């Protein structure tokens, strides 16, 4: 609706903004300080909240491990990170400082929904009788050697997650630009 003067000239800029140009696909054991990476791995230590509201977990791949952190300014993104569990398979995106990946994005490739637990008997969970000695039902005295695999309910889904725009680097490619 706005009528402007006739266009005199125009120019197209080439930019690396929103391209992920800074990210190098690599293995954890290859990681160097002050570079940015895409790393595959398995959550090997569950997330914990540290002073300042940052959330940290350990990622492992082929015997190498690195800590990953979602800093407080990443706000709601931390809610996803907090829900990760040991055994989850993820791909992390971010820069490395002090041997720690500063998370910009994460792709959750698979969620570990299995957990080994003592079996249930007489409506209660059997109690361990000591290391390597099996479990016993406190009510009926039944003994079981095996633990059972149970399904753990998860509050997050597989998928791609990114920090909010207020915490995003200008180089970071927004997920909406992935096809």
Residue span binding Zn ion (CB under 5 A) among the ranges 15-23, 56-64, 94-102, 139-147: 139-147
The nearer residue to Zn ion, 23 or 137, going by C-beta atoms, is 137
Torsion of CA 93, 97, 102, 107, to 10 degrees: 20
Residue 155 CB burial class (10 angstroms; 0-12, 13-18, ≥19): exposed
Residue 74 CB burial class (10 angstroms; 0-12, 13-18, ≥19): buried
121 belongs to the binding site for Zn ion (CB under 5 A): yes
Show contacts with Zn ion in window 33-52 (CB under 5 A).
Answer: none
Residue span binding Zn ion (CB under 5 A) among the ranges 28-36, 80-88, 90-98, 116-124: 116-124
Residue span binding Zn ion (CB under 5 A) among the ranges 91-99, 104-112, 131-139, 153-161: 131-139
Q: Smallest gap, in angstroms, from Cβ of residue 126 to Zn ion?
A: 7
39 near 26, Cβ under 8 Å?
yes
Q: Smallest gap, in angstroms, from Cβ of residue 127 to Zn ion?
A: 11
Q: What is the DSSP letter of 130?
A: S
Report the interface residues with Zn ion, using CB under 5 A.
Answer: 121-122, 137, 139-140, 142
């Amino acid at each position: 609706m706005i009528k402007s003067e006739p266009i005199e000239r125009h120019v197209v800029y080439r930019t690396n903004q929103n391209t992920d140009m800074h990210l190098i696909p690599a293995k954890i054991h290859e990681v160097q300080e002050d570079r940015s990476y895409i790393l595959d791995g398995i959550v090997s230590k569950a997330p914990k909240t540290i002073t300042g509201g940052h959330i940290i977990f350990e990622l492992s791949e082929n015997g190498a491990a690195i800590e990953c952190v979602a800093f407080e300014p990443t706000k709601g993104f931390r809610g996803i990170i907090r829900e990760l569990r040991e055994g989850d398979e993820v791909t992390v995106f971010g820069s490395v400082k002090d041997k720690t990946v500063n998370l910009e994005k994460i792709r959750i490739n698979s969620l570990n929904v299995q957990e080994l637990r003592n079996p249930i008997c007489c409506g209660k969970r059997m109690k361990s009788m000591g290391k390597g000695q099996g479990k016993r039902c406190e009510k009926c005295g039944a003994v079981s050697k095996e633990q059972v695999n149970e399904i753990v309910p998860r509050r997050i889904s597989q998928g791609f997650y990114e920090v909010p725009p207020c915490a995003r680097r200008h180089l970071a490619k927004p997920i909406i630009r992935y096809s």
